[in-house]
Amino acid sequence: MSRVKELKDARNHLEAWKRADLAVSTGQTYQMGSRSLTRVHASEIRKSIEFWERRVAKLSQRRSGIRMKRMIPRDL
């Protein structure tokens, strides 16, 4: 999967979990596919939001420039 598609999917997941958090915080039930989430699932929702926030942050980092490791030239 390309990095751009992964980032888009991660952002979609994050938004879905944020909508679930908002619905559950107002006392409602939220349904995602076949799962139904209620107020007792608040900690699971929070963990999922944190996971997807980290994933989006990781995928959003730009890698540019030359990557080098430390090297010691040796004359053999």
pLDDT tens digits, one per residue of 20-49? 888 877 777 777 788 887 766 788 889 999
Q: Phi and psi (nearest 5°) for 71? A: -135, 140
What local confidence, expressed as pLDDT, does residue 18 receive?
93
What local confidence, expressed as pLDDT, does residue 8 receive?
93
What local confidence, expressed as pLDDT, does residue 1 receive?
67
Total count of domains within the chain:
1
Q: Within a domain: residue 17?
A: yes
Q: Within a domain: residue 74?
A: no
Q: Over the stretch 42-73, which tens digit does the pLDDT of each residue have?
A: 888 899 999 999 999 988 887 656 666 777 77
Nearest to 37 by CA among 51, 25, 54, 50: 25
Q: Within a domain: residue 44?
A: yes
Q: Within a domain: residue 65?
A: no
Q: Within a domain: residue 70?
A: no
Quickly list DSSP for 10-26: HHHHHHHHHHHHHHHHT
Q: Within a domain: residue 72?
A: no
Report helix, strand or coil for 57.
helix
What local confidence, expressed as pLDDT, does residue 66 receive?
66
What local confidence, expressed as pLDDT, does residue 65 receive?
60
Q: Within a domain: residue 43?
A: yes
Q: Which domain holds residue 42?
A: 3-60
In whole angstroms, give the CA distance from residue 3 to residue 60.
9
In whole angstroms, give the CA distance from residue 24 to residue 37.
7
Q: Within a domain: residue 38?
A: yes
